[in-house]
Structure 1
Amino acid sequence: MNQRASTIYIDDSNFYLEVYLDPFNKRIRIDDYRGNINLLMEKAEELVRKYQAEKLIMKARSEDFLHLYEKGLQPEAVVERYFLGSDAHFFSKFYTVERKKNDHWITEDGMIHSIYQLNTTIDKPFPPKEYELKKADEACAEELSGLYRQVFQIYPTPLHDPEYVKKTLMEGTIYYVYFYQGKIVSAASAEVNSFYKNAELTDCATLPEHRKYGLMKIILRELEGELKRQGIFCAYSIARSLSFGMNAVLYQLGYKYRGRLMNNCYIYDKLENMNMWVKNLANC
């Protein structure tokens, strides 16, 4: 698996599959499905063998929960109201011993416990007036890409490529950014699923020297407001399990911890576990 990630659609007479092939992260993700669960799982595992994936992820509906246990998958996380108000269960199956091993799990459990002790009634941040918040457009693609190159040595999607960033903007991903002295110093995005009415808040990055002003909290609130205006109330975010700061930001913004995806993707400098955080925007 060495080509760029892509989505394929398999429309069989007995089932339908929407599959995200992710060679960089050596995984395959089933984003949507319907029909005969036995046959579609056979097809999914056929793709795993074909592309030599180490991990299969499936966004499953509640009614298929027990059936997927029988197929050797295990639940890792849940996103409430993902499918037009119904929950999505993130199931996984591992295909190599190495991909199933992890040395950080207990440490990360302790971090979640610590985060849940934090005060959630802290004052809203007000950065100095030199910081300017804007919604990004395609003209920002080059600079956005540069920010991600500076913050992340490795990233699970090709955000280091300005053309990829431009493509995501054209396809409806919403970016908000902070400018300081004319340069982008902080950014995050919302990847919108307009069919199922959910959004993943992602691509959160702030240059180290600008992290003391709470810029990310303000950007995420701005993205939430934009989502609500579009009638999207299911918001979720997947944060590096070893990043206390990002997980703490999500908790303090009212997100709830909903599980951990083991050895999920290559990010920062290695293969990492990722925490799932979920928020119902209709309640705020």
Structure 2
Amino acid sequence: MVQLKKFANERFSALICIDPFNQRVRLDDYSGKVRDVIQSVLQEAAGCGASKVIVKVRREHMPFFLEKGFRLEGVFSHYFLGSDAYGMSLFLTEERMRCPYWLKEDEIVASIQEKPIKSDPEKWQDDYVMRKANISDTQMLAKLYDTVFETYPTPMNKPDYIQKVMEEGTVFYAVEHDGQIVSAASAEINATYGHAELTDCATLPSYRKLGFMHHLILALEKELQSIYIYVFYSLARALSYGMNQVFYQLGYTYTGRFQNNCYIFDKIEDMNLWVKTPNKS
């Protein structure tokens, strides 16, 4: 299970995510003496046997991380209340650095970017219902994620976990057909910095190519805008042509790729970063 650790002393503060399942440590926020922050993150990584460290840093602090071997993987535009966050990573094992699909993933992004933006989305079919999900839907949502994903970075196949993240503020939208949820997506909101991650995108195989995800993302964006959140980002499987195309068609900008980021489907995979800011809306 993911563990969030908060550090605060006279030198620095930091919010560090310990993620044993994905064998990684992530720095989500920090202030104070940057070199002390880096030392703390690396100590946590060594303590839990992580093979990758991921940090989100402010532009002026990039040199401190570069000198410790971190490299830039993606840019979270407008992440810190309008200022960009730079996603940097340090690989701690040779195995974690191996990347056999990188050129193929480059080709997928290039192919998607060559396509014109469609002005009209897929027409909605009346026998499907799209709605905001609630606590009573956790069983059906868990069943959806368990069916779609062989493995997933978080335990979305467990109703209790879905209820927990809902209670913490994550918003889910779902498509229902014949009494079951056949497609869903969520938004994890960071009210402090005014952005949201669009994630947990899943559609049953027999319902794909019906354009549900396009409508779900739009519904989530509208919900977020109603609470004054205007910066959206998502990490999409770099090998998934369909999901990357959805974000491109919705006006998101590709801003990088996180190598061997997490376990999803049947292996550890690279994840493409897509960002949408007020300037793109």
Corresponding residue for 1:180? 177
> For 2:41, which of 39, 44, 56 is the aligned residue?
44
Q: Tell me how large the CA RMSD over aligned residues is.
A: 0.9
Pairwise CA distance, 1:127 = 2.9
Q: Which aligned pairs between 1:162-173 and structure 2 lie closer than 5 A?
A: 162-173=159-170
**Are 1:270 and 2:242 counterparts?**
no
> For 2:32, which of 35, 56, 64 is the aligned residue?
35
Pairwise CA distance, 1:14 = 0.1
Pairwise CA distance, 1:188 = 0.1
Which deviates more from structure 2 when the two are superposed, residues 273-282 or residues 165-174?
A: 273-282
Whole-Å separation in 2 of the counterparts to 1:61 and 1:212 = 39
> For 2:56, which of 59, 62, 71 is the aligned residue?
59
Corresponding residue for 2:253? 256
Which one-letter code corresponds to 2:12 in the other structure?
Answer: F
> For 1:14, which of 5, 11, 14 is the aligned residue?
11
Q: Which aligned pairs between 1:116-265 and structure 2 lie closer than 5 A?
A: 116-265=113-262
* Partners of 1:224 and 1:281 within 8 A in 2: no
* Partners of 2:253 and 2:274 within 8 A in 1: yes
TM-score w.r.t. length of structure 1:
0.97
Corresponding residue for 1:97? 94
Which one-letter code corresponds to 2:168 in the other structure?
Answer: E
Pairwise CA distance, 1:283 = 4.3
**What are structure 1's unaligned runs of at least 5 residues?**
none
**Are 1:109 and 2:106 counterparts?**
yes
Give secondary structure in 1 for the equivalent of 2:209: helix
TM-score w.r.t. length of structure 2:
0.98
Whole-Å separation in 2 of the counterparts to 1:161 and 1:177 = 17
Which deviates more from structure 2 when the two are superposed, residues 115-124 or residues 5-14?
A: 115-124
- Identity, % of aligned positions: 43
Which one-letter code corresponds to 1:77 in the other structure?
Answer: G
* Partners of 1:115 and 1:248 within 8 A in 2: yes
Which one-letter code corresponds to 2:58 in the other structure?
Answer: R
Whole-Å separation in 2 of the counterparts to 1:42 and 1:218 = 44
Whole-Å separation in 2 of the counterparts to 1:256 and 1:282 = 11
> For 2:80, which of 79, 83, 92 is the aligned residue?
83
